[in-house]
Structure 1
Amino acid sequence: MNFLIGLIFVSSILADQVTKALAVNILKDGSSIKIIGNFLRFTYAENRGAAFSILQNQRWFFITVTIVMLIVLAYIFFKTKNINKLSRLAIAMIAGGAIGNFIDRLMLGYVIDFIDVRFGSFYNFPIFNIADSFVVCGTILMIFLILFNKFEKSEDNG
């Protein structure tokens, strides 16, 4: 399982960076590619803020927060002996996604987003990327584990 966790961690970063490179090469000219009708399309966007484009142009703030968060996650992952493998997976997913966006912020000054989900004329979800997906899925998994008291190994199953 530790190999799988490491593979998911590395794959999350690689998948994020490769898909962003493709988005730049294919979509930066302003085109949008429909994948599933008007529901899902790929559209290039540069996000200089956080989720939902909040706190625009706060690059150094996000870089600092990401470094602190990665240090905390690394400490929990490597130094806490009583967390289970699913908890380690959640941490790896969050860290991998955070590093994917961190690379963009550090190298470009913004994060490349391209996954564009629309619910008809009712709602256009903010454009996001693979790294965001890993952070969100890892966070949901971690919340689930904490809420149901499964983040740490129980005494009876080691």
Structure 2
Amino acid sequence: MIYYLVALAVLLLDQLSKWMVIRNMNVGESISIIPNVFYLTSLRNTGAAWNILEGQFVFFFIITAVVLSVVIYYMQKVGRKQPLLGTALAFIIGGTLGNFSDRLFRGEVVDFIHVYIVHYNYPVFNLADSSLFIGVLLLIIYLIIDGRKGKK
């Protein structure tokens, strides 16, 4: 199914990008791509977003298993028939597996995308995080569109 291939592509791109960062940058090193806007900054994270719940591997394992089970269930039940929903779920699966792979094999998540929005120093993230964000955004759009269809 095409949506699982999208998830696999996200996972592979995420892991390749992290491997390149690990291989070519020291932890804490930052490379300016667009000064005052975009940097590659090599960091490690043992928690969730913004390093909350640091070191809680068992918790993340359980949450990941539950989330993946629910998302794959909806992919099989509805997502494969609805392109927007299927794409949203594929991005969520790929992103979830990307960060989980880091936790499982490295004991920490590799973060490296560092942006400044106006003068706000946004927390460093990675492609798996971006994929999760895109997937949730597409899911919200799908739910809004689906909700409007239900009213008609």
Is the TM-score greater than 0.5? yes
Q: Which among 11, 14, 18 is matched to residue 12 of structure 2? A: 14
**1:83 Cα deviation from its structure 2 partner:** 4.9
- Say if 2:95 and 2:132, in contact at 8 Å, map to a contact too: yes
Q: Provide the aligned length of Structure 1 versus Structure 2.
A: 151
Q: Which one is further off, 47-56 or 64-73?
A: 47-56
RMSD: 2.3
Q: Which among 39, 42, 45 is matched to residue 41 of structure 1? A: 39
- Say if 2:27 and 2:43, in contact at 8 Å, map to a contact too: no
Matched residue of 1:134: which SS?
Answer: helix
2:76 — aligned with what?
78
**1:16 Cα deviation from its structure 2 partner:** 0.2
**1:119 Cα deviation from its structure 2 partner:** 3.4
- Say if 2:94 and 2:131, in contact at 8 Å, map to a contact too: yes
Matched residue of 1:149: which SS?
Answer: helix
**1:150 Cα deviation from its structure 2 partner:** 6.1
1:102 — aligned with what?
100
- Say if 2:79 and 2:86, in contact at 8 Å, map to a contact too: no
- Cα distance per residue 1:68-126 (max 9 Å; x no partner): 10011111111337851110110010000000000001111111100011236x31101
- Say if 1:41 and 1:115, in contact at 8 Å, map to a contact too: yes
- Say if 2:7 and 2:94, in contact at 8 Å, map to a contact too: yes
- Say if 1:116 and 1:128, in contact at 8 Å, map to a contact too: yes
Q: Which amino acid aligns with 1:146?
A: L
- Say if 1:59 and 1:110, in contact at 8 Å, map to a contact too: no
Distance across 2 between alignment mates of 1:103 and 1:6:
17
**1:31 Cα deviation from its structure 2 partner:** 2.2
- Closer, same or farther: CA 82–134 of 1 in aligned 2, 3 Å: closer
Superposed structure 1 runs of 4+ greater than 6 Å apart: none
- Cα distance per residue 1:119-156 (max 9 Å; x no partner): 36x311010000000000000110111123269x98xx
2:22 — aligned with what?
24
Q: Which among 121, 125, 129 is matched to residue 128 of structure 1? A: 125
Q: Which among 63, 88, 91 is matched to residue 89 of structure 2? A: 91
Distance across 1 between alignment mates of 2:90 and 2:18:
20
Matched residue of 2:112: which SS?
Answer: strand
Distance across 2 between alignment mates of 1:133 and 1:105:
17
Distance across 1 between alignment mates of 2:79 and 2:40:
41
Q: Could you say which structure has the higher helix fraction?
A: 2
